[in-house]
Amino acid sequence: MADTTLMSIPGQVDPVPVAREITPRADGRVDLIGLPKKDIAVLFEGAGLDARQAKLRAKQVYHWLYHRGVTDFEAMTDIAKTMRPWLAERFVIGRPDVVEAQHSTDGTRKWLLKTPDGHEFEMVFIPDADRGTLCVSSQVGCTLNCTFCHTGTMRLVRNLTIGEIVGQVMLARDALGEWPKGKMDFAEVEDEAEYTADGRLLTNIVMMGMGEPLYNFDNVRDALKLVMDGDGLALSKRRITLSTSGVVPAMARCGEEIGVNLAVSLHAVTKEIRDEIVPINRKYGLEQLLQACADYPGASNARRITFEYVMLKDKNDSDGDARELVRLLKHYKLPAKVNLIPFNPWPGAAYDCSTPERIKRFSDIVFEGGISAPVRTPRGRDIDAACGQLKTTAEKKSRAQRDREEAEAAAGA
């Protein structure tokens, strides 16, 4: 049986892993990625520029960083030639390190990334006919131990920094070759049509990679602010969805301070089953969760809340469960859509996926109740990129290594 205890940090109301500052680089330079314009200006002033200069340079540099995706100060053509080495001596423009990049036969791509202090995490890109969705991680591992989720079995957990979160989006744009192709001169008036609405691959972002985004609230918020900033990456909040397992006290803040679409990992409709498979339910129960959804700022029929429901054979997939789901969503008058996710198995998982007939029947009952309930097609299964399969290879290896060591010890005893 999986260990479902929450990893608590003394003094915290919730089991929030302690946020860490960006590890200082050995060479003393500061990575600008993850900083908003005003903080860049403060750094420039601290490095010796007068306030007016600092503000102007910060504006220019910000544009090159987040709008153009430049990673070298030398490419910043509207900044004086002599100023560029001055910047390069003090600052860097970082990206997460790529340990491995994989391509699925269905077009899905997965990257294994690494933080400067050696923690690995993953990012997935899922292309579709009319959109391309980047699945972004918020933490290394997850403290929440949902019993069907591979990420929840990782031992190491730390919050990703703002730079590591926004860095995923920037890296994806690098890899997809999707930075604006306007003339490399900031001073010139750019033709918007040159670099917008040009059939971009990356159109949507989901905070559905590793981790519980609402347990890393501040960093996720600040990273998404950078992603949404019209002077920078400029992705609309309507194209961003944050998925939570139900951190009730942070949900209203999410709507107010970030304003993105909400997805909730519901997965069960009774206390007994949800307590078991989504253990945060013992802390914030179903009623509290659904009430927080009903109160979610910005939710409306035009912007419905997505309820994710993983289909686990003989666990949460009966006709009665489907009917109860409809009843609950109606009772709380939720502008809802349901996303049925076939369970993606991983080695050692204690569940099976419901049969296709069962999933179809479940979906039909919810549809008949007047709520849209499409079945999500699993993507990137051949490269372990599907929902809930994210767990780094290093971690898998270390497990295997541990098993081997245990077997050897047992054999030697």
Q: How far is the CB of 209 from ligand SF4 (least distance, A)?
A: 8
User: Is 32:65 a contact under the CB 8 Å cutoff?
Assistant: yes
Nearest to 36 by CA among 223, 191, 290: 223
Which residues, in sequence order, are bridge partners of residue 125? 109, 134
Which entry of ligand SF4, ligand SAH, none binds 208, CB below 5 to 8 A by partner kind? ligand SAH
Tell me if 149 contacts ligand SAH by CB under 6 A.
yes
Q: Which of 120, 122, 164, 308 is catalytic?
A: 122
Q: Distance between CA 220 and CA 137 in Å, rounded?
A: 10
Tell me if 204 contacts ligand SAH by CB under 6 A.
no
Helix (H, G, I), strand (E, B), or coil: what is residue 178? coil
How far, CA to CA in Å, does 24 sit from each of 45, 138, 360, 367?
19, 20, 52, 53
Instruction: Tell me, yes or no, if 142 is annotated catalytic.
Output: no
Q: Distance between CA 308 and CA 263 in Å, rounded?
A: 7
Taken in order 80, 82, 83, 88, the sign of the CA dihedral is positive
Q: Which of 142, 149, 293, 387 is catalytic?
A: 387
Within 255-284, the residues that bind ligand SF4 by CB under 6 A are: 265
Site mask for ligand SAH (CB under 6 A), range 310-329, x = bound:
x-------------------
Tell me the residue number closest to ligand SF4, measured at CB: 152
Q: How far is the CB of 377 from ligand SF4 (least distance, A)?
A: 19
Instruction: Tell me, yes or no, if 353 is annotated catalytic.
Output: no
Q: How far is the CB of 254 from ligand SAH (least distance, A)?
A: 12
User: Is 57:83 a contact under the CB 8 Å cutoff?
Assistant: yes
Tell me if 121 contacts ligand SAH by CB under 6 A.
no
HSE-up of 38 (CA within 13 Å, CB side)? 1
How far, CA to CA in Å, does 235 sit from each of 91, 122, 155, 166?
26, 21, 33, 12
Nearer to ligand SAH, 69 or 246 (CB): 246
Tell me if 244 contacts ligand SAH by CB under 6 A.
yes
Nearest to 338 by CA among 352, 349, 327: 327
Candidate list 108, 115, 137, 151; residue touching ligand SF4; CB under 6 A = 151
Within 359-398, the residues that bind ligand SAH by CB under 6 A are: 387-388
Q: Distance between CA 37 and CA 45 in Å, rounded?
A: 12
Within 124-143, the residues that bind ligand SF4 by CB under 6 A are: 142
Nearer to ligand SAH, 66 or 307 (CB): 307
Q: Distance between CA 133 and CA 115 in Å, rounded?
A: 23
Q: Which two tokens stand for residue 122?
A: 């993953």
Nearer to ligand SAH, 168 or 245 (CB): 245
User: Is 206:136 a contact under the CB 8 Å cutoff?
Assistant: yes
Site mask for ligand SAH (CB under 6 A), range 248-277, x = bound:
-----------------x------------
Q: Which residues are catalytic?
A: 122, 387
Residues that bind ligand SF4 (CB under 6 A): 142, 144-146, 149, 151-152, 211-212, 245, 265
Residues that bind ligand SAH (CB under 6 A): 142, 146, 148-149, 208, 212, 243-245, 265, 308, 310, 341, 343-344, 387-388
